[in-house]
Amino acid sequence: MNEFENIEEFETIILTDDLGEEIEFAIIDSIENNDNIYLLVVESKFIDYDEVEAIILKEISIDTNDIIYERVEDDIELNKVSELFRLSVDDYDFEVYD
């Protein structure tokens, strides 16, 4: 049994990749830091896996119908936000890979 076993417990978002494909992600956690909102997400189709790659997204803008997120790529920002997620809750474990 893994800690993310029941997808119905998580809010989901749909993101569009560079090829126009829509991908559903489960929001595992969110955090605010320095007036920025970050989401820790897992692709929904992998939610039942024992180990899964999570992605940290940063809210970059809100327009009338959509919120725009981008993947956190900057190493310094990624490490800082990862540590904030790690300290915020004990419900999951994760490691940051380059």
Q: Can you give the residue ranges of every domain in the chain?
A: 7-88
Residue 38 pLDDT: 97
- Rounded Cα–Cα distance for residues 63 and 24 (Å): 20
- Rounded Cα–Cα distance for residues 41 and 26 (Å): 5
Q: Of the spans 21-25, 44-48, 61-65, 66-70, which averages the highest pLDDT?
A: 21-25
What is the band of 31 on the pLDDT scale with cuts at 50, 70, 90?
very high
Mean pLDDT of 15-39: 93
| DSSP, res 96 | -
Residue 1 pLDDT: 42
> The whole model's pTM is what?
0.81
Task: Tell whether the model's pLDDT for residue 33 goes beyond 70.
Answer: yes
